[in-house]
Homo-oligomer: A and B are copies of this chain.
Amino acid sequence: MASNTFGNIFRFTSYGESHGKSIGCVVDGVPPNVLLKEKDIQLFLNRRKPGQSKYVSQRKEKDKVQILSGVFEDKTTGHSIALNINNEDQRSKDYKEIYDKFRPGHADITYEEKYNIRDYRGGGRSSARETAVRVAAGAIASKILNHKLKNKIQVRGSVIQMGPHKINKKLFNWDEVNKNPFFCGDPRAAIDWGVWLDKIRKEGNSTGAIIEVIAENVPRGLGNPVYKKLDSHIAEGLMSINAVKGVEIGTGFNVSSLLGTEANDEIFPDNNGDYFYKTNHSGGILGGISTGQTIVARLAVKPTSSILIERNSIDINRQSIKIKTKGRHDPCVGIRAVPIAEAMLLIILTDQLMMHESQVGPLV
């Protein structure tokens, strides 16, 4: 029921299977007169697309997006914007042999249990290929945020842990993030990860990761109380990304170990008649509403379920089988999750901004 729609006021409804004709979405609730070209969206898609290093899937998809509606003379009209991306490099034959088999860790078996039918080619609707659409919708969200708030908000993410290997926070530098194939802000960790991931990849294995995604310069007062909290919305959105098993805000799970005196962020007046918080355990959100501090969210991504090492499973007749998952897979899906998580955060902030404006009026 509406399981293919995300968002409240700014919302998109998506479609498409990994090996179907195309994937895409209809974005609704877009304000009119926002400048928008296909290339604005393409820039976002290019950050996510496969085949860009040996550490990600080798599937060759241009991820060329086409705007079908809702834009006239490079401006949004206020009507629904349809985006379509044709699938080009399907190799459905890679999947012929699994039509009657369930790959462990995948949704094959749960889809079959639920629907009594599935498009087995490349995982069908459960494939991470769907996430390209989130990134495309995120690009539109970004344009809206910039249009409304004059480029104020900045959303960006990075991988802070790959497998058991964490970054050294002291070495973290945003400038490094786009200089390596891992979206890693610690240049030394990036080198180590490369060696380690190469080994994992050659073994046919895979690994998990932790992503941190932040939003800077978010105005105070954004969010909604009770059941549409900004953090609740972020948890929903990030957990909906394929392979994600955990989401935390600010100090997150570690906050449980603290005392009240340590955990609550004290407030101080500054010299300009304004105020500031000394710490940011809250991750920029109190009572579901932004404090004006940086919003900090982390998500845990499990190791890619498709591996080239033989595993035990069953077929649709519930007979024991051994299975290796061929195809072109990411040894660490967490890497490409960075632009996806950024997109989700952009989408959520845009939706929350429009929700705020619908009730309270323009944010200043």
Contact = CB atoms under 8 A, between A and B. Distances in A.
A119 B77 contact: yes
Interface stretch (A49-57, A176-184, A314-322): A314-322
Given A33-B115, A77-B117, A250-B245, A225 B126 contact: yes
Nearest to A240: B232
A286 B13 contact: no
Interface in A67-109: 68-70, 72, 75-82, 84, 102, 104-107, 109
Nearest to A82: B15
Contacts of A107: 225, 286-289
A245 to B, nearest CB: 5
A282 to B, nearest CB: 7
B29 A1 contact: yes
Contact of A221 (B17, B110, B239, B251): B110
Contact of A15 (B66, B68, B114, B292): B68
Contacts of A210: 253, 256
Interface stretch (A39-47, A150-158, A186-194, A262-270): A262-270
A309 interface: yes
A1 B5 contact: no
A48 interface: no
A258 interface: yes
Given A68-B21, A247-B239, A318-B269, A221 B113 contact: yes
Contacts of A291: 109-110
Contacts of A231: 239, 244-245
A142 interface: no
A225 B286 contact: no
9 tightest Cβ-Cβ pairs between the two chains A and B: A107-B287, A105-B264, A358-B358, A246-B248, A206-B260, A236-B236, A208-B256, A110-B289, A114-B221
Given A114-B289, A246-B249, A263-B303, 4 more contacts: A206-B259, A207-B258, A245-B253, A269-B318
